[in-house]
Amino acid sequence: MNYLGIEYEMRNIPSLDPGFIPFGVWMEAYRKGAGVPIAVAVEKNGGEITVRHTKIYGTPERAEADYRYAERYVKFLLWSIGGFRVSICGAPAIARRLQAAYSPTGERAFDYDFFQKLYERPLEILDLPLSACPAPNENPRPIGGHMEGCRIGFDAGGSDRKVSAVIDGEVVYSEEVVWTPKTMPDPRYQYEGILDSLRTAAAKLPRVDGIGVSTAGVLIGNAPMISSIFYCVPRERWDEVKTCYDRAAAAIDPKIPIVVANDGDVSALAGAIGMDCGRLMGLAMGTSEAVGYVDAQRNVLGWISELAFAPVDLNEDAMVDEWSTDIGVGCKYFSQDAVIKLAPRAGIALDSAQTPAEQLKAVQALLDAGDARAREVFENIGVYLAYAVQQYSLFYDLQVLMVLGRVMSGAGGEIILAASRRVLAEQFPENTVRIVLPDEKTRRVGQAVAAASLPALDS
């Protein structure tokens, strides 16, 4: 197969998406012929810098392939690592094109706006000689795993909030409350709901030694900077959002330590505790694609891992993500949107009046009834997943991929798992990543206990 003059091999083509061009496969094929060294340095808060060295062709006849590779490569780095400054070192022509793309009026205007809001400063693309590439300065940090004492674990979701009272790692009380934070522009709604849950759990404990929070969104410290929980809150009230969790904990007791973490990282932590391992990525297929990661020492990297908006498919006719306005990004391949995208191609007519969650359930019901078309949908997602494992392994040190979420529930999850393992073994036998569902121990640990384990207590 050929894309932009680069020959690549695909042994397994998703039957319902024959135009799929896996970015990881094409990337490795492209690199085999590239010989001009360049570097990309991504900087974020605290002077943390991640540097990746790679190569391009650097010839006029490969200019479009060079730019396509670099543009998708930089996009993946931004949405996995995060950052407010990207230095393109040794490729001035590419740097100039990326400066135009990542601007308020460029093709990556959404990305520019997102990272400006996240870091509260404009996103910069710098053109530097290779010799001036910044030095790496990475700071992995431990996350959770503290079980001693009386703790509260809180999980803020988009449709419900869960809280657990935990004593020495055992849940003594748990509660789930339906709420609608995504539609509420007044952040007092979210604050009062959080405080109500914390107070409920605190009443079930003899004392509160620590509070851990798992929340959707991207954080700096304990402050949500971008979050679907506060989707409708105007930016002029964002100071209330950034202090929301800290203020709620202080209302319980200002001396209690609180740690807030991204829900994807907390899921990865739960898997690492349950399976007693590191180098683990948790990938949840639900409303969107949610990802978290812990390294070999069960540290988090300080990365945002928002892979829902990172590229996985180079097909220029791929479905557009209506929010980010880009094509080929993860949320259309590893979420209920993937099922909704593929079902009509398999000949399944969906009811447009239904919500996406209801449409997913309709396809799952067909599968349970033995419908071969529904089976094909989930098999195709499994093919996607195998190619994503190969790609993600190029950016993360991976040993285990734990897949969860409503798309993975029931028979569909088993089909996805089997298909992904088969394709991985056939096309990437050298890749030793294990793709697993959460085991029973991990389910017992759960999001609440993992969240409760976040704060370290003074000895």
DSSP string, 267-305: HHHHHHHHHT--SEEEEEESSSEEEEEE-TTSEE-S---
Q: What is the model's pLDDT at position 445?
A: 59
Q: What is the model's pLDDT at position 458?
A: 79
Share of the chain above pLDDT 90, in %: 90
Contact predicate 442/449, CB 8 Å: no
Question: Structure tokens of 378?
Answer: 């989930």
Query: Which residues of the chain fall below pLDDT 50?
Result: none
Question: Structure tokens of 430?
Answer: 């050298």
Q: What is the model's pLDDT at position 223?
A: 96
Q: To 5 degrees, how large is the angle CA 182–CA 293–CA 72?
A: 80
Q: What is the model's pLDDT at position 216?
A: 87
Distances from the Cα of 387 to the Cα of 27, 29, 220, 307, 440, angstroms: 12, 14, 31, 14, 27
Q: What is the model's pLDDT at position 421?
A: 98
3-state helix, strand, coil in the chain (%, to 5): 45, 25, 35
Q: What is the model's pLDDT at position 262?
A: 92
Classify residue 11 by its DSSP letter.
Answer: S
Q: Exposure pattern of 86-107 as b/e (b: 16+ CB <10 Å)?
A: bbbbbbeebbebbbebbeeebe
Main-chain dihedrals φ then ψ at residue 307, nearest 5 degrees? -75, -5
Do β-strands 150-156 and 124-128 pair in parallel, antiparallel, or remain unpaired? Answer: unpaired
Q: What is the model's pLDDT at position 444?
A: 60
d(CA 417, CA 408): 9
d(CA 150, CA 187): 29
Q: pTM value?
A: 0.93
Q: What is the chain's Cα-based Rg?
A: 22
Quick one: 361 exposed, middle or buried, by C-beta within 10 A (0-12, 13-18, 19+)?
middle
Coil/strand/helix, residue 224: strand
| Helix spans in 137-212 (H) | 187-202
Token pair 């009026």 in the structure block, residue: 105
d(CA 241, CA 244): 5
d(CA 120, CA 373): 47
Q: What is the model's pLDDT at position 157?
A: 84
Q: What is the model's pLDDT at position 441?
A: 64
Which residues touch 438 (CB under 8 Å, ≥6 apart)?
270, 271, 274, 402, 404
Do β-strands 210-215 and 258-262 pair in parallel, antiparallel, or remain unpaired? Answer: parallel
Which residues of 287-369 form beta strands (DSSP E)? 289-294, 299-300
Which residues of 362-454 form beta strands (DSSP E)? 400-404, 434-436
d(CA 262, CA 276): 21
Q: What is the model's pLDDT at position 287?
A: 85
Contact predicate 155/217, CB 8 Å: no
Inter-helix orientation angle 440-452/263-275, to 10°: 130
Q: What is the model's pLDDT at position 43?
A: 98
Which residues touch 349 (CB under 8 Å, ≥6 apart)?
none
Q: What is the model's pLDDT at position 318?
A: 97
Residue 365 zone, left/alpha/beta (φ > 0; ψ -120 to 50; rest): alpha
Contact predicate 261/305, CB 8 Å: no
d(CA 291, CA 342): 22
